[in-house]
C-alpha cells in the first residue's frame, strides 16, 4: 500500500509539473504571436481585440481611435479638447497611472503606458500592459505597428495609402504658393516661454518637415532636430532660429504670451514677420501627430498659407 501511495504521489507530481509546463508554454506561445517591435514591450497576455483600453500613451490616442480601438480613458485635456477627435472621448474618464483604484474599477482588458512609468508593476496586476517607448517608431510606422498588434493591418494600410495621396495633392497645391526650398520654424508658448520643435515632437513638425518635406533653418536642424526634438529659446536668440516662415501654435491659454512677443522689437524686425510669413494655427489641433490629427492639420495648413499670401 505504501509503495502504491508513493507511486501515486510521484505520478501526480509529474502530471502537475507537466501541466504547469504546458500552461507556461501556452502563455509563451500567446505572447510570441505578438509582433517584435523595437520600443514596445508586452506584459501579460495581450488581447488582439480588446473591449476596453485604459490608455496613458496620449501621443498615440489618435492612432488607437483611427484603428477603431475602444479608448476608455485620457490623460491630457488636449486629448479631450482635440478638434480631430471630436466626441470620440466623450464617455472616457481622465486618469493618471497613479489612480490605481479607479483604473481597476474600469475593469480594462488592456492598459497602455509610456516606457518607464513608475506605476508599471501595479498596473500589470490589474490587466495586461503594453509599454511603449516614445519616438522609437516613426510617426507613420507607429500606425503599422499598432495595426499589427491589434490585427488591424488592413485599416492601417488603408489610411496610409490615402494619406500618401493627400500629401501629393497638398504638395501640388502648395507648389503654386511657396517655393519648395522655403524653410519653416515650428514654435509655441508655455508659461510665457518660447519653445521650438523639430520633426518628431508634434505641433505640426511631422507634417511640415516629414510629410510635406520643407526644410528647417540650420540652427533648428543643429540644436533641435539633431538633438532632443524641442528647445526653449529666449527672445534675443529667436532671430537665429526663425526661417522664411514660422508655424506658430496658439490657443486661448497662450494668446497672452504670444501677444507679448508680438509687441517686442525683436519680433517685429524678423524678416518672416515683415514678409507676413507668420502662420498661426490651433494649438489643440496641431499638438499631436496621429492620423486623425494629420488629416485635419494638412487642410488647416494649406488654408493658413493661402491667408498669408
- Give the pLDDT confidence of 234-254 residue by residue, as tens digits: 999 999 999 999 999 999 888
Range(s) within the chain of domains with CATH label 3.40.50.1980: 33-152, 176-308
Report whether 213 contacts 178 (CB < 8 A): no
Q: What is the per-residue pLDDT for 22? A: 37
Smallest Cα–Cα separation from 100: which of 114, 116, 121? 121
What are the cell numbers at 183? 524653410
Q: What backbone torsions phi and psi does residue 142 show, to the nearest 5 degrees? A: -60, -35
In this predicted structure, what is the pLDDT of residue 18? 33
The span from the CA of 149 to the CA of 130, in Å, is: 10
- Please check whether the domain covering 33-152 is classified as CATH 3.40.50.720: no
Q: Is the dihedral of CA 36, 41, 44, 48 positive or negative?
A: negative
Residue that the C-alpha cell 464617455 belongs to: 91
Q: Cell 480594462, residue?
A: 108
Residue closest to 222 by CA, chosen among 246, 196, 248? 196
Q: Which three cell numbers stand for residue 261?
A: 512677443
Q: Which CATH class is domain 176-308?
A: alpha beta
> What stretches in the chain show pLDDT beneath 50?
1-32
Grid cell 522664411 is found at 244
Distance, CA of 38 to CA of 131 (rounded, Å): 11
Q: Closest by alpha carbon to 129, among 117, 142, 147?
A: 117
Q: Distance between CA 122 and CA 131 in Å, rounded?
A: 13
Whether the CA torsion 130, 131, 136, 139 is positive or negative: it is positive
- Predicted structure pTM score: 0.87
E strand segments, 31-84: 40-43, 53-55, 73-74
Tens-digit pLDDT profile for residues 91-129: 999 999 999 999 999 999 999 999 999 999 999 999 999
| Phi, psi values for residue 55, rounded to 5° | -115, 125
Hey, what's the cell of 94?
481622465
Place of cell 473591449: 51
Distance (Å, whole) CA 223 – CA 230: 9
Kind and range of the H or E element at 74? strand 73-74
Taking a C-beta distance cutoff of 8 angstroms, is the pair 241, 272 a contact? no
Half-sphere exposure of 93 (CA within 13 A, CB side): 12
**Whole-angstrom distance, CA of residue 53 vs CA of residue 38:** 22
Amino acid at each position: 500500500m505504501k509503495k502504491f501511495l508513493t507511486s501515486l504521489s510521484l505520478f501526480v507530481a509529474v502530471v502537475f509539473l507537466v501541466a504547469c509546463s504546458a500552461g507556461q508554454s501556452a502563455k509563451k506561445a500567446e505572447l510570441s504571436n505578438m509582433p517584435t517591435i523595437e520600443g514596445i514591450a508586452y506584459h501579460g497576455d495581450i488581447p488582439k481585440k480588446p473591449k476596453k483600453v485604459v490608455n496613458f500613451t496620449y501621443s498615440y490616442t489618435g492612432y488607437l481611435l483611427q484603428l477603431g480601438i475602444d479608448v476608455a480613458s485620457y490623460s491630457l485635456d488636449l486629448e479631450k479638447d482635440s478638434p480631430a477627435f471630436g466626441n470620440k472621448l466623450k464617455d472616457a474618464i481622465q486618469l493618471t497611472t497613479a489612480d490605481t483604484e479607479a483604473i481597476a474599477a474600469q475593469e480594462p482588458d488592456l492598459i497602455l503606458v509610456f516606457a518607464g512609468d513608475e506605476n508599471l508593476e501595479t498596473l500589470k496586476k490589474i490587466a495586461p500592459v503594453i509599454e511603449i517607448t516614445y519616438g522609437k517608431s516613426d510617426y507613420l510606422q507607429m500606425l503599422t505597428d499598432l495595426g499589427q498588434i491589434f490585427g488591424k493591418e488592413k485599416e492601417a494600410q488603408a489610411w496610409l495609402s490615402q494619406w500618401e495621396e493627400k500629401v501629393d495633392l497638398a504638395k501640388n497645391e502648395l507648389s503654386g504658393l511657396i517655393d519648395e526650398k522655403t524653410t519653416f520654424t515650428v514654435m509655441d508658448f508655455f508659461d510665457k516661454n518660447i519653445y521650438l520643435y523639430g520633426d518628431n515632437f508634434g505641433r505640426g513638425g511631422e507634417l511640415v518637415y516629414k510629410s510635406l518635406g520643407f526644410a528647417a533653418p540650420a540652427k533648428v536642424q543643429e540644436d533641435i532636430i539633431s538633438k532632443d526634438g524641442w528647445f526653449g529659446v529666449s527672445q534675443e536668440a529667436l532671430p537665429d532660429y526663425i526661417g522664411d516662415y514660422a508655424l506658430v501654435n496658439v490657443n486661448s491659454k497662450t494668446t497672452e504670451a504670444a501677444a507679448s512677443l508680438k509687441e517686442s522689437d525683436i519680433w517685429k524686425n524678423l524678416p518672416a514677420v515683415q514678409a507676413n510669413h507668420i502662420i498661426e494655427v490651433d494649438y489643440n489641433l496641431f499638438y499631436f501627430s496621429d492620423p486623425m490629427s494629420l488629416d485635419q492639420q494638412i487642410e488647416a495648413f494649406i488654408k493658413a498659407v493661402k491667408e498669408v499670401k
